[in-house]
Chains A and B, each alone.
Chain A
Amino acid sequence: MAVTEIPSGPSVLDRLSKPKPVAVLVLLMWLPLMAYVMFGQAIGGEARAVLLPAIPATLMLYVLGIRAFRESRVAVIGLTLVFFWLLMAVSAPYLPLMDPNKPIAPFTTPFTERNDLFFWLGTDFKGRDMLSRMIWGCQRVLVWGVTATMVAYVVGAMFGLISGYLAGWWDEIISFVANVLLSFPVMVLFIVILNYLGPSGFNIVVAVTFASAPAIMRIVRGLALDIKTRDYVYAAQTRGEHPLYIMIFELLPNVRGPIIVDACLRLGYTTVAITTLTFLGLGLQPPDPDWGLMIRESAKTAMLWKFSYMLLVPALAVSSLILGFNLMADGLREMSLRD
């Protein structure tokens, strides 16, 4: 009877009274970007048109974000850094940049003119414009990093909820698997998985999921263990709710808050991981620009004071994005502590 009932949403009242403009904006920004980066080639010629709605959406989200975070200066700085790169990612095809893959004038130092073109950040060993590569380079890191983190969260949260709420054998098995995975140093896990699957964005998602989900699962499990002792869960149990309903509608929304901070930090870790793996040759593959790839390629060619800009540019770019995520996490934590 009650056991097989499929849980329904919290309530009509709740749903009707709350339109979610932020969610709509996030989707407007994210889906085109994801489509562009993951399936840009498949879309073909005018793929950049899909990014058109994403640009205003990103700007609006930024304004909303600033308003929401205004209490914390740290968070605002972090948000600004992250949104700078998001904006670059969605608008790169529309910016007056040179083709990031086109060899123009090799080894042009920054702020010099060559072939009647001015190179703000110089060019790399193939003569590709560094400014353009840096800006285009954020697309793949952002898209794959965020996607990987999201997937890891979905998987981790799912198992965490099951493990924490249902306990017993579920917990034993899930916790053991998590322990096995956590016993591998992250990089070892990445190397083994990517080596097996081969390097690609989708496989990075898989690898990050394997590496991050156990930790997320532990956090969610801990939260679930705490929340399940709350009276409202007790109330749901005593009115005979299905465990699935309790996990999704009673636990999950309350787990959400604490893990947002963690998610921001983890976005940073994932960005580090993707850059590092790409540097090691296990991550994203050339020729499209990517920061890790820029480092990888330049490490061969630029180990000299006068060429060090080739390494410096991607290194600073990736650090600024990670700093953005970390500052956001810091600010969010600070704000949550104040409440």
Chain B
Amino acid sequence: MLKLILRRLVQMVLIMAVSSLLLFAIFDTPEFKKRLAVQELGGFAVSALTEESYKSWLAARGLDVPFYQRYANWVGNILSGDLGFSYEKNRPVAPLLADRLANTGILAFFVFALMIPLSLILGILAGMKEGSLQDRTISFVSVFTTSIPEIASAILLTIIFALGLGWLPVKSAMIGGFNFRELILPVLTLVIYDFGYVARMTRASMAEVMTSQYIRTAILKGLPYRRVVMRHALRNALIAPFTLIVLQLNWLLSGVVVVEVFFEYDGFGKLLLEAALFPDVEVVQACTLVAVAVAVLSQIISDIGYTFLNPRIRFA
């Protein structure tokens, strides 16, 4: 097990190294540098720059050296704890990223706090009696909600709760400090899109377990139905959803982009998009590293969890 985790971590570092080098190479084109200059100086100004002053502008930003050299510096800095500097936001990346990650973390916390119980309960209720009315209802609702992409559910929720009923604020910029009411719509948007998927997977897992032979054994042993479900079915049925939920962390990093942009919530996704469009290379780099780390760590957690929940692997 330890070996597996170690291997994953080594793999993570490898992936990070490969992807960040690639990113540096990608963002090294003259077009990107020019774009950066345009963003900073304005289109008119850039085209009025002489070759020489453009070069000195590049030098001032350290963009005049080949990307591998910058990469080496950057890696050195990373190792010493310096994540770089944001051209766009004019501040070091580390505190910037920390702020944004914290915001996304808050968002994610509420999403999971709502989504996990909701999807597991619905999934189990549906999977317990495959083909029953409650199953078909829950299944249909979950297909339906997963079919509404975040952007559409954000719109629908905004129209209903903010524009129509006026119960909630339209945007979540939180300019007056943290405001729970502004968090509701983004959280709901993400939950609506995601819970259906997890519920369906839970349902499938539960349904499969319920038709398994050991459940038949348990029933024919004369155990009460409650005991069969709670003791025999649940644990086995929840293995798959558990790993899935952990892996949703990775999904969430994708989902938050559109939600944060739509609701103007200052989180990781919005930062990433802004940085990519700017192009704020070091921020993109840092965001990507975080994303990869989250992805790989969630895989590790899901592996450990899977092993822990599944004695077949734990005592192999």
Contact = CB atoms under 8 A, between A and B. Distances in A.
Q: In the complex, are there CB atoms of A and B closer than 8 Å?
A: yes
B11 A179 contact: yes
Contact of A311 (B27, B155, B164): B155
A163 interface: no
A333 B19 CA distance: 36
Contact of B143 (A185, A305, A316, A330): A330
A315 B284 CA distance: 30
Contact of B152 (A179, A299, A315): A315
Interface string A196-212: 10000000000000000
B164 A308 contact: yes
Interface stretch (A118-126, A216-224, A318-326): A318-326
B142 to A, nearest CB: 10
A191 interface: yes
B143 A179 contact: no
Contacts of A281: 277
Interface string B251-295: 101110110011000000100110011010000100110011011
A282 to B, nearest CB: 8
For A182, A311, A330, the residue with the greatest tally of chain B CB atoms inside 10 Å of its CB is: A311
Contact of B159 (A180, A268, A312, A319): A312
Interface in B135-173: 139, 143-144, 146-152, 155-156, 158-159, 163-164, 170
A325 B253 CA distance: 24
A183 B158 CA distance: 32
B23 interface: yes
Contacts of B288: 184, 188, 192
A326 B276 contact: no
Could you say which interface size class chain B belongs to?
35 or more
A276 B151 contact: yes
A279 interface: yes
A299 B154 CA distance: 11
A322 B151 contact: no
Interface string A122-141: 00000000000000000000
A149 interface: no
B250 interface: yes
Given A195-B277, A276-B151, A188 B272 contact: yes
For A196, A299, A316, A323, the residue with the greatest tally of chain B CB atoms inside 10 Å of its CB is: A196
Contacts of A188: 253-254, 272, 287-288, 291
B251 A312 contact: no
A280 B147 contact: no
A318 B152 contact: yes
A192 B9 CA distance: 24
Contacts, number: 122
Contact of B15 (A179, A271, A303, A319): A179
Contact of B170 (A195, A271, A303, A327): A303
B284 A192 contact: yes
A305 B164 contact: yes
A275 B277 contact: no
A279 B19 contact: no
Contact of B296 (A183, A195, A271, A295): A183
A180 B164 CA distance: 44
Question: Main SS of the interface on chain B?
Answer: helix
B309 to A, nearest CB: 21
A47 interface: no
B18 interface: yes
A312 B261 contact: no
A64 interface: no
Interface in B1-45: 11-12, 15, 18-19, 23, 26-27
Could you say which interface size class chain A belongs to?
35 or more
Contacts of A322: 147-149
Contacts of B295: 182-185
Given A179-B11, A180-B18, A192-B284, A280 B257 contact: yes
B251 A185 contact: yes
Contacts of B258: 187, 276, 279-280
A192 B276 contact: yes
A216 B273 CA distance: 26
A50 interface: no
B150 A303 contact: no
B156 A183 contact: no
B272 A191 contact: yes
A16 interface: no
A304 B163 contact: yes
A195 B250 contact: no
A312 B155 contact: yes
Contacts of A330: 139, 143
A276 B259 CA distance: 10
Contact of B291 (A185, A280, A305): A185
A186 interface: yes
A191 B270 CA distance: 11
For A180, A183, A192, A281, the residue with the greatest tally of chain B CB atoms inside 10 Å of its CB is: A183
A184 B23 CA distance: 12
A28 interface: no
A313 to B, nearest CB: 10
A138 B208 CA distance: 38
A322 B291 CA distance: 27
Contact of B163 (A271, A275, A299, A308): A308
Nearest to B136: A74
Contacts of B139: 330
A312 B276 contact: no
Going nearest first, the 9 A-B pairs with the smallest beta carbon separation are A187-B254, A323-B147, A315-B152, A185-B253, A272-B149, A185-B254, A305-B163, A315-B155, A308-B159
Given A184-B19, A188-B272, A295-B155, 4 more contacts: A192-B288, A268-B147, A279-B151, A318-B151
25 contacts: A179-B11, A180-B19, A183-B15, A183-B296, A184-B19, A185-B250, A186-B254, A188-B253, A191-B273, A192-B23, A192-B284, A192-B288, A195-B277, A276-B258, A279-B151, A279-B258, A279-B262, A281-B277, A311-B158, A312-B156, A312-B159, A315-B148, A319-B152, A326-B143, A327-B147
